[in-house]
Amino acid sequence: MIEVIDTGIAPSSGPVNDCIRVGRQVWLVVISEDPSTGEIVTGEIERQTHRALANLRQAVEAAGGTLANIVQVQVFLVDKADAAGMNRVYSEYFVKPYPVRATVVVKELLAAGLRIEITATAML
């Protein structure tokens, strides 16, 4: 049975959930949005990555875990050149042993000005 987790982050206008739990497994998706207003945080990749990862931490904590419970991460970037800046910020949030991660460059993301989207899986 799917349990929708209330993360405290402004909900999407689309037919999606940002955090669900089934048993001990939690699936999450975050972007660089202000958690209270839902407004996209734009600007440099470091700024957007900080906001997205802070949202990820908030979401996994709402599910009863921590960033240490995250076992897999997928990062979607709109510019390959943003990988270095994203990695610098990412290393402030995750420590060894790092989760398994894939980083994919995509043509664009849905919201104007959005440069990063992250999905993750956690085991609690």
pLDDT in tens, 21-34: 999 999 999 999 99
pTM here?
Answer: 0.96
Q: Which of 30, 29, 48, 36 is nearest to 10 (CA)?
A: 36
CATH of 3-123, one of 3.30.1330.40, 1.10.1740.10, 1.10.287.130, 2.40.40.20: 3.30.1330.40
Please state the domain extents for the chain. Answer: 3-123
Cα(56)–Cα(18) distance, rounded to whole angstroms? 10
Supply the pLDDT for residue 85. 98
pLDDT in tens, 78-105: 999 999 999 999 999 999 999 999 999 9
The DSSP call for residue 74 is E
